[in-house]
Structure 1
Amino acid sequence: MIELIINNFLDGHISVPVFLERPKKVPERFVLFEKTSSAKRNHINSATFAFQSYAKSMYDAAVLNEELKQVIESIIESDEIASVKLNSDYNFTDTETKEYRYQAVFDFKY
């Protein structure tokens, strides 16, 4: 399952906890990610994932986002991943909860 491959890779390569769903008690800095779409063509799977980097300030969220992008781009070293491409990244501060976060969207082939 691609979610587990990504989660296991991030756990060993990024400086903050990584979650597939929001924990009840959130740490000061963390990454939350989810699959937003997937497809299969010619026996090659593809999926788009949104990664949200949370922190206590906008600056810290932006710094975490940069770390995340570097780590995700290095996942290509994994045998299970055929390609990874940054689709977009941007400030994604939650106006309702007032939590600072950045979002990076990546396209994977596996």
Structure 2
Amino acid sequence: MIETIILNHLVAALDVPVLMEVPKNPPDTFVVLEKTGGGQRNRIHSALFAVQSYAPSLLQAAQLNERVKAAMDTLPALDAVCAARLNSDYNFTDAASKRYRYQAVYDITHY
């Protein structure tokens, strides 16, 4: 399952918690991985992932986002991943919780 592959890759590459959802009592700094779409053609799968970087300040969230992008860019070294392309990244501060975050959106091609 591509979610597990990417989750394990990010956990190994980053020094902050990487989760699939925001916990009830979140730490100050963490990353959330979310699959937002996907498809299949000729047995090649595609998936769209949003990776959200939370931190105590906007600068720290931006810096964590850069580390996340560096880790995501190495996904094609894994056997199951053909390509990982940054679609976009941007300030995505959560207005409801007033938590700073950045979001990087990736197009993933995988087996």
1:102 has 2:102 as partner: yes
Quote the residue 1:93 is aligned against: 93
Q: How many residue pairs get matched? A: 110
Which residues in structure 2 correspond to 1:1-110 (within 5 Å)? 1-110=1-110
Tell me the TM-score normalised to structure 2 length: 0.96
| CA-CA distance at 1:97 after TM superposition | 1.3
User: For residue 79 of structure 1, what is the amino acid of its counterpart?
Assistant: D
Tell me the TM-score normalised to structure 1 length: 0.97
Structure 1's consecutive aligned runs of 4 or more residues displaced over 3 angstroms after TM superposition are none
SS in 2 for 1:6: helix
Distance 2:21 2:100 in 1: 17
Write out per-residue CA displacement over residues 43-95 of structure 1, whole angstroms, 9 at most, x where no aligned residue. 10000000000000000000000000001001111111010100000000011
SS in 2 for 1:10: helix
